[in-house]
Amino acid sequence: MLLLTDREVHGQRLSRDLALILPCTVVPVQQAGAQLATARVIVCDVALNEPSAVGLLRAALDRHRRPGIPLICLLREQTHHLVTQAKALDATDILPLDTPRAQLLNTIAQRAGWNAGEGATTPRRIASAGAQKAAAALAEMMLAAESGTWISPDTLEIASTAIIDAIARVEIEAWLDVVWAYDQVTYQHCLLVAGLAAFLSLKLGFSAADRKHLTEAALLHDIGKARVPLEILNKPGRLTDAEMEIMRTHAPIGFELLAKQGGFGGELLSVVRHHHEYLDGSGYPDGLQANEIIDLVRLTTICDIYAALIERRAYKSPMPAEQAFGIMWDMGGKLDADLLGAFQKLIAHKP
Ligand SMILES: [Fe+2]
Ligand SMILES: [Fe+2]
């Protein structure tokens, strides 16, 4: 996605939010040029009452915007004049700049899906359309968790359906490839865990209902991270003991948020609270023992650890599967060996 702006600092801030669902490049309107030709979605935050800015914008769009590429214009004021300007630029969507982020992200995801979605046929496009839909839904839920507003079970269902459908149609590698492109650590992580959970439950022959339960739990397992400060969440190096303590609160916080709101099943709540528990009792927050940890939690924990090991960061390429499993087997009696063995077999049988 390309963000055209005439306000550098504001543009950078906006692009961080937009990058939750698609990689986003910020281009000052004065420098708008050939990059427009490769954009799948163009978002425009430019003062449309400034004739010089509009002139630059129009020239760049006329020259480089490919046919059918969505243009989303954000208006700083909702005046007849600005709406007319946006329409003259052939905007597909005209939204106030202060549109709630979740709504803006949904619009962008829908528009991006309009290109890559419904009729998609190649594995990459199928995975990409599913991931975008799920990422927009996840963004809506994470933003709700952050601000303490309603986390919609319907949105959760939209996301899990998109993931389950994509995973049923493409190899897991296609899903991982697409999700590795998400720069935002928590989003990449949750989409990896949910994709692996959908894959595992499909291959283990779970019923449709159980696949949905596991995928939804996996997607929301780290919802409490919406309340962990970003500098801790995104810290590239090792966390200090004090930071680790704060990080660990994400499990009980996520549980409290969902339990207080209501509308989520007991097993999902258990996954959110207990996905860092280990069979030998050394996990957190409650130090549960093996017989107290349900299968849905055990499965999510395995997907969670594997996803964390194979994540892609700007400074780190994904760890090979074999190495990740080596580390997990070295964890001794912490993980369910039968499930880990089954998971490894399914992943390893992939080309
Ligand atoms: Fe977690
Ligand atoms: Fe996690």
CA of 299 to the centre of ligand 2 (A): 12
Q: Identify the pLDDT of residue 198.
A: 98
- Residue 33's pLDDT band, with cuts at 50, 70 and 90, is confident
Q: Which CATH class is domain 122-348?
A: mainly alpha
Task: Give domain limits for the chain.
Answer: 2-101, 122-348
pTM: 0.78
CA of 186 to the centre of ligand 2 (A): 8
Ligand that lies nearest to the alpha carbon of residue 308, given by its number in the listed order? 2
CA of 208 to the centre of ligand 1 (A): 25
Q: Identify the pLDDT of residue 181.
A: 83
* Beta carbons of 57 and 36 less than 8 angstroms apart: no
Q: Identify the pLDDT of residue 254.
A: 98
CA of 6 to the centre of ligand 1 (A): 39
CA of 179 to the centre of ligand 2 (A): 15
43 forms bridges with which residues in the sheet?
A: 3, 72
CA of 180 to the centre of ligand 1 (A): 18
Task: List the Cα angle 194/228/145 in 5-degree steps.
Answer: 60
Q: What does the mean pLDDT of the chain come to? A: 90
pLDDT in tens, 224-263: 999 999 889 888 889 999 999 999 999 999 999 999 999 9
CB atoms within 10 A of CB 7: 15
- CATH of span 2-101: 3.40.50.2300
Amino acid identity of residue 281, one-letter, is G
CA of 87 to the centre of ligand 1 (A): 45
Q: Identify the pLDDT of residue 21.
A: 73
pLDDT in tens, 138-172: 988 998 999 899 999 999 999 999 999 999 999 99
Question: Which of the pair, 81 or 330, is modelled with greater confidence?
Answer: 330
Q: DSSP letter string over 123-191?
A: HHHHHHHHHHHHHHHHHHHHHHHHHT----HHHHHHHHHHHHHHHHHS-HHHHHHHHTT--SHHHHHHH
End-to-end CA distance of the chain: 31
Q: Identify the pLDDT of residue 112.
A: 75
pLDDT in tens, 114-132: 444 455 678 888 998 899 8
CA of 137 to the centre of ligand 2 (A): 18
In degrees and rounded to multiples of 5, residue 81 shows phi and psi of -60, -45
